[in-house]
Amino acid sequence: MKIAICMPIFGGVETPTFFSILNALNCLKQYKFTYNINFFHTERRPIYWARQELWDMARYSGCDRMIFLSEDIVLKIDTLIKLAETDFDIFSVLYFERQPPHRPMVFRLDDDNRWHPHNIDIDNKVKIVDGVGCDCISFSREVIDKIPSSAFLPFEGYTGDDLSFFIHVKKKGFQVFLDTAHKVGHVYHRKRIIWYNDYINTLGTLYKKGEWHKERKT
């Protein structure tokens, strides 16, 4: 099994991210010692440009599976194993926005092909979704071969590389699977890491504010 791990680097890899990747790589090599792992990265490229280059690198490397990581995602020790050994063509783990209210980085596409945040039920099950952030996700060889690297270019009003990409995913008939049981961290400013609890705590705060406004009106 040949794995290509790809990381677009712009501002520099966060310290918690760096050590989490080392630990996850060590775990992957320990339990999947027959895997051949190649690591590719870009530096100081706009994100859509970086993803294009990395997508082509992965294709030309002859890998069986490609994994996108980000410079600010904090992995769990078994995250790379999860991403590498899955049988799903497109498989993502769950992470959350850095900014409050720290929503899940999951999106739904409406009937007019417009994207919206998707407040999914986080019930520790694998779900089919329309789109996710591309910062902790893996792809099968079939996806790499059938979707061109130009899919990351913004088009038709879609400014995000991930949202543009998942329009192509839908057109090609692939499904996106999200594991809500496997949650990773997202580094915020001052090295604070955003986890699932931040999302839960923010929802509680918003609820309390809503109740306060109701009391003021009555």
pLDDT digits over 72-82, tens only? 999 999 999 99
Tell me the residue length of the chain.
218
Residue of 86, 83, 95, 66 whose CA lies nearest to 28: 83
**Mean pLDDT for the chain?**
91
pLDDT in the model for residue 217: 52
Residue of 16, 48, 33, 35 whose CA lies nearest to 152: 48
Neighbours of 155 (CB within 10 A): 13
- pTM for the full predicted model: 0.89
Q: Give yes or no for a contact between 66 and 6, defined as CB atoms under 8 angstroms apart.
A: yes
Amino acid at 115: W
